[in-house]
Amino acid sequence: MAKDKSKFICQECGYESPKWMGKCPGCSSWNTMAEEREARQPKTAGVRGGFVSGREKAASITQIDSTREPRVLSEMAELNRVLGGGIVPGSLILVGGDPGIGKSTLLLQLSHSLAAKGQKVLYISGEESARQTKLRADRLGVLSDLLYVLCETNMDFIRDAVDEVAPQFLIIDSIQTVYQPDLASAPGSVSQVRECTGEFMRIAKGKGIATFLVGHVTKEGTIAGPRMLEHMVDAVLYFEGDRHQAYRILRAVKNRFGSTNEMGIFEMREIGLEEVANPSEVFLSERPIGAAGSTVVASMEGTRPVLVELQALVSPTNFPSPRRMATGIDYNRLSLIMAVLEKRIGLFLQTQDAYVNVAGGVKLDEPAVDLAVAVSVASSFKDQPANPYDVIFGEIGLTGEVRGVARAEQRIAEAKKLGFHRVIMPERSMKGWKAPAGIEIIGVRTVAEALEAALGDSGSPAAHVAAARDKRG
């Protein structure tokens, strides 16, 4: 009788090797190669080919029906926004986040909102008992007759439960606890996660059941398991936030049915997660007035403009190499902006430590926040506060120019709605639209001009630049 074959698989990236190695050649991680045995004849070997019944023929792309996929709207508008306008039937969605951030709470509240609309939901928990899930549901007030709960990790029993209940929505908490009994590897291994996800994909596509998978994250903040897991699903959502703060942010990093730039904001309370309808007002509620180093930036999160506070602290260093720290923005962008301030503006920052923080725990990754970072750093360095009723945005180039950004009119409309009086923005973004009444728009071409407008430094190089431009007419 033939022996079972064994191989070593990296638990970080899924690299396979016939022998054990201390360092994975695929991702360069140490001590991540684990031995897994291959079953000789798995039960599901005959159905692993696909999820479409029958054989399809190739057709011209002009003859394919392009009817838009119907979506199911939940009562959580923020989740609908992140998913691109609702839940697509038959989609497979992966939700990841740090432990204790509120993933189970979010999906349990989603289950209740769907069940309240007459949709049958099957919630499968592999980490909690039915009694624990019921206690959480009592606390959140999410009880419904159409919400079914099952505590199971065996894939065969889960498949039977889906056939018996016939739900419209399926929630698995979590994918790392589910296992295929045909595989000899332990639950959570690369082989188990890959095979179980493939089985849930066949269930979702074959039966038209929208399926949510909860995924654990590694210490680097990425989804645990093989990278193939994120390629198999239709959407990947990250639930982020600091457990010491009340606000949680839901981001889409992959979405086959919508944009990946959308962001949903929730507030964690005793009764569960509550949606934040106006995040700009919340993020600016504790903003200090007249403090040096504090500015307000208008950032776009998908189709939504969000105003957040940028704080900078510049102080002399006691070490040969000054320290740079960025929270909420890219560290490399901060280094680039400080180099521009030193080279083009003449700010002597070589002996200064610099700390930049985005208040509220928000992460800003678009280049439009560069100009606000530059103003914050210069304001703290000079100990000169900027106008607290200014909103600043724009991208900075290496030569000190301010480049245009997209959707400037939406950013300005959000600033006016919240009572700001003035906007400092790229001059190139002022074309093609009319500024609303009641708010002053200042277009700048260089960082020097922006600092002059924000800090009123008449002795800065911007004064000479502006004077030269006036002379040229």
Binding-site residue ranges for ATP: 97-104
What residue type is assigned to position 260 of the chain?
T
Q: Which helix (H) or strand (E) holds 324?
A: strand 324-327
Using the Cα atoms of residue 447, residue 453, residue 457 and residue 461 in order, give the sign of their dihedral: positive
Taken in order 171, 174, 177, 181, is the CA torsion positive or negative? Answer: positive
Residue 352: phi, psi to the nearest 5? -120, 135
Indicate the Cα dihedral angle 234, 235, 236, 238, nearest 10°: -160
Distance CA 117, CA 322 (A): 58
The H or E element containing residue 308 is strand 304-316
Binding-site positions:
97-104
Cβ neighbours of residue 373 under 8 Å, at least 6 residues apart? 297, 310, 312, 329, 333, 334, 337, 356
Return the CA Rg of the chain.
27
Task: Specify the DSSP element, H or E, that contains 408.
Answer: helix 408-417
Buried b / exposed e along 83-99 (16+ C-beta atoms within 10 A): bbbbbbbbbbbbbbbbe
Asked if residues 76 and 275 have their Cβ atoms less than 8 Å apart, the reply is yes
Q: Give which of 362, 391, 382 is closest to 450, Cα–Cα.
A: 391
- Angle (deg, nearest 10), helices 103-115 and 130-140: 70
Which pair of tokens denotes residue 348?
């002597």
Q: Which of 237, 182, 235, 227 is nearest to 204 (CA)?
A: 235
Altogether, the residues listed in the chain come to a count of 473
Q: In this structure, are strands 33-37 and 210-215 parallel, antiparallel, or unpaired?
A: unpaired
